[in-house]
């Protein structure tokens, strides 16, 4: 489907999320030891959603939830790579999203669907991940511009409804 252009949906502010990227370059010293030179890019925009079932694996030594995400962005995320210009070796990028660290494990060119985009799969590097953030209108029913004044208990009133008056409506 190369004729399909999803760039409008992928750049819509309603679908975008913000995350930081750690780019890690290996630097060898004179003794052959490798150190990491880390460059942080803040507030990268992209569509981020859950990739796996996030099931809990219980073992005798630990409980681990395998958590992975999919990221679609114009930022050039990398898995392990070598720069052709100066032969620098880069470790896979680390994505910092919602308080968790995710290691990029798979990159796909998404240009057939949206010019300049990449699709990346990243797996959690943390032993314990942050709980999901409550988001969306189901958490806050007092929607601006809706005309409905919902109270904190989930009930509400229709504007213009006089609940003390039980007379039938007349036209």
- The DSSP secondary structure of the chain, one letter per residue, reads -TT---HHHHT-TTT-EEEEEEEEEEEE-TTS-EEEEEEEEEEEEEEEEE-S---EEE-SS-EEE--EEEEEESS---SSEE-TTT--EEEEEEEEETTEEEEEEEEEE-TTTSTT-EEEEEEE--SSPPPPPP-STTT----TTS--EE-TTS-EE-TT--TT--PPP--
Q: Record the pTM.
A: 0.68
Query: pLDDT-based confidence at 166, cuts 50/70/90?
Result: low
Structure confidence at residue 132 as a pLDDT band (50, 70, 90): low
Q: pLDDT tens digit string along 22-45?
A: 999 988 888 888 888 999 999 999
Question: Which CATH architecture best describes the domain 7-124?
Answer: Beta Barrel (2.40)
């Amino acid at each position: 489907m190369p004729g399909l252009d999803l760039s409008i949906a992928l750049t819509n502010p309603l679908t975008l999320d913000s995350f930081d990227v750690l780019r890690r370059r290996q630097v060898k010293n004179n003794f052959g030891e490798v150190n990491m030179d880390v460059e942080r890019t803040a507030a990268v925009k992209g569509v981020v959603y859950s990739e796996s079932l996030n099931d809990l694996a219980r073992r005798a030594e630990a409980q681990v939830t395998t958590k992975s995400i999919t990221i679609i962005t114009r930022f050039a995320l990398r898995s392990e790579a070598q720069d052709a210009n100066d032969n620098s070796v880069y470790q896979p990028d680390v994505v910092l999203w919602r308080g968790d660290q995710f290691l990029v494990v798979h990159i796909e060119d998404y240009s057939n669907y949206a010019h300049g985009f990449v699709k990346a799969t990243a797996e959690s590097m943390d032993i314990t991940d942050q709980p999901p953030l409550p988001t969306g209108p189901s958490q806050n029913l007092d929607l601006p511009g809706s005309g409905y004044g919902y109270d904190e208990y989930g009930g509400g009133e229709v504007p213009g409804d006089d609940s003390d008056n039980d007379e039938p409506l007349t036209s």
